[in-house]
């Protein structure tokens, strides 16, 4: 069946797909090649997601790609149009929640994957979704089969070479799946569209995080050469790994906070306690970093305001949290 043709010719099916899965099928293909973007694979945009900000591509090899310029994430999501419809109807939040579906750890074993689905899957309007699947002649699986029939194939498509990614100037989009530590080149291309595929995940992460710090901490990094900055990132990543931090996003935030606090963040007692507090175990180490980042920014903003209002200028202390501060957020 030509699923795309059927959706274009049956407005009610396209409407249901939009309502239930936030996927808007275009009446005709759109050219994806925006002026400043480059793509690793040729493709045509056939649908948009989340109020036109995210794009779904029919790629040159017949697979389906996805690009979110909001989240700066790109990757292959399915090997065919039929698979694509199967995935988004069975797991409607697949392209909306870049958290549990993209966590590489949950794909390490069948047990971990089944648990992740059981803990996170939210499938509302189940009768309507099942009806839509029937009309489009794609399978609708019970929850206990989602791990094997939907999430595992999604992971395999997202990590298959050649990867689908999008470049903007010298920065490439993050992959759909966060690579595990030590992963090979199947997961990442290096910072910069002209760079070769990295030999390992660490090299790629160093490039990505160094570029991120150049962007968000221009004054702090201005005096560093590229090699000095990458050595700094490498050292900070080792510190972060000791706290259980694994994803590149979390490593980047940790590196920024460490830089903003002149290297003091990992040594603060309040931070050490917070990163091990069982009350926040459900967040995981990477989730704790997200929360820590929010509070660090708030604290730095307060300090900056206080320094501006101070009657006498004194030596500034650049600590996100004092040892006496509470780690309860």
* Range 76-80 contact pairs with CB under 8 angstroms and sequence separation of 24 or more: 76/157, 76/158, 76/160, 76/163, 76/164, 76/176, 77/154, 77/157, 77/158, 77/176, 78/153, 78/154, 78/157, 79/153, 79/157
On the question of pLDDT at 34 being above 70, the answer is no
- Is the same domain home to 12 and 154? yes
Tokens of 7: 């959706």
Write the DSSP symbol of residue 34. -
- Same domain? For 203 and 248 the reply is yes
| pLDDT at 127 exceeding the cut of 70 | yes
Q: How many domains does the chain have?
A: 2
218 in the same domain as 151: no
Task: Grade residue 181 by pLDDT with cuts at 50, 70 and 90.
Answer: very low
pLDDT computed for residue 70 by the predictor: 64
Q: In this structure, are residues 208 and 251 in contact, taking their beta carbons and an 8 Å threshold?
A: no
| Domain presence at residue 164 | no
Note whether 33 and 90 are same-domain residues.
yes
> Looking at the predicted structure, is the pLDDT value of residue 162 above 90?
no
pLDDT for 199 equals: 37
Inside any domain, residue 166 = no
Asked if the structure places residue 26 within a domain, the reply is yes
315 contact partners, CB below 8 Å, separation of at least 6: none
Indicate if 124 and 241 belong to the same structural domain: no
**28 and 100 share a domain?**
yes
Q: What is the pLDDT of residue 222?
A: 92
Does the pLDDT value for residue 313 go beyond 90?
no
Q: What DSSP assignment string belongs to 186-248? A: TS-PPSSTTSPPPSSHHHHHHHHHHHHHHHH-HHHHTT--HHHHHHHHHHHHHHHHTTT--SH
Q: Residue 316 falls within a domain, yes or no?
A: no
* pLDDT value at residue 81: 96
- What is the distance, to the nearest Å, from the Cα of residue 102 to the centroid of all Cα atoms in its chain? 7
Give the bridge partners for 175, in sequence order.
74
Which pLDDT score, from 0 to 100, does residue 174 have? 63
Closest to 51 (Cα-Cα) out of 6, 97, 94, 96? 96
Read off the pLDDT of each residue in 268-284 and give the average, rounded to a whole number. 88
**Confidence class for position 165, pLDDT limits 50, 70, 90:** confident
Same domain, 122 and 8: yes
For residue 136, the 8-state DSSP code is H
pLDDT at residue 223 tops 50: yes
Cis ω before 162 (30° cut-off from 0): yes
Are 92 and 224 in the same domain?
A: no
* Domain limit, last residue, from 132, 159, 186: 159
Which regions of 126-208 does DSSP assign to beta strands (E)? 166-168, 171-172, 174-175
Domain encompassing residue 273: 178-309
pLDDT for the residue numbered 191: 31
Residues in the chain: 329
Q: Judge if 192 and 148 occupy the same domain.
A: no
Residue at 71 is within a domain: yes
Residue 117 and residue 7 share a domain: yes
CA–CA separation, 132 and 126 (whole Å): 10
The answer to the question of residue 326 being in a domain is: no
Alpha-carbon span 167 to 201, nearest angstrom: 18
Q: Tell me: do 29 and 133 sit in the same domain.
A: yes
Span 81-105, pLDDT tens digits: 999 999 999 998 787 655 567 777 8
Residue 323 within any structural domain of the chain:
no
pTM for this entry: 0.56
Residues 124 and 238 in one domain: no
| 173 belongs to a structural domain | no
């Amino acid at each position: 069946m030509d699923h795309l043709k059927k959706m274009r010719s049956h407005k009610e099916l396209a409407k249901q797909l939009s309502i239930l899965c936030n996927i808007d099928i275009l009446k005709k293909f759109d050219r994806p090649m925006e002026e400043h973007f480059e793509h690793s694979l040729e493709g045509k945009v056939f649908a948009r997601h989340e109020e036109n900000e995210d794009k779904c591509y029919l790629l040159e090899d017949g697979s389906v790609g996805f690009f979110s310029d909001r989240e700066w994430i790109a990757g292959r999501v399915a090997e065919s149009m039929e698979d694509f419809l199967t995935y988004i109807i069975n797991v409607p939040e697949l392209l909306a929640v870049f958290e549990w579906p993209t966590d590489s750890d949950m794909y390490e074993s069948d047990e971990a994957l089944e648990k992740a689905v059981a803990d996170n899957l939210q499938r509302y309007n189940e009768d309507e979704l099942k009806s839509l699947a029937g009309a489009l002649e794609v399978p609708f699986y019970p929850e206990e089969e989602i791990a094997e029939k939907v999430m595992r194939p999604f992971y395999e498509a997202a990590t298959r070479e050649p990867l689908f990614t999008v470049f903007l100037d010298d920065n490439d989009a993050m992959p759909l799946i966060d690579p595990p530590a030590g992963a090979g080149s199947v997961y990442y291309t290096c910072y910069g569209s002209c760079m070769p595929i990295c030999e390992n995940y660490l090299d790629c992460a160093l490039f990505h995080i160094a570029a991120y710090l150049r962007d968000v901490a221009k004054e702090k990094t201005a005096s560093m050469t590229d090699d000095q900055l990458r050595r700094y990132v490498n050292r900070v990543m080792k510190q972060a790994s000791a706290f259980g931090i694994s994803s590149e996003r979390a490593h980047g935030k940790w590196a920024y906070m460490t830089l903003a606090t002149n290297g003091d963040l990992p040594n603060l007692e309040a931070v050490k306690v917070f990163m091990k507090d069982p009350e926040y175990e459900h967040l995981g180490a990477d989730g704790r970093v997200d929360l820590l980042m929010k509070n660090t920014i708030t604290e730095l903003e307060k300090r900056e305001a206080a320094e501006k209002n101070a009657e006498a200028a004194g030596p500034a202390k650049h600590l996100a949290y004092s040892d006496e501060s509470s780690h309860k957020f």
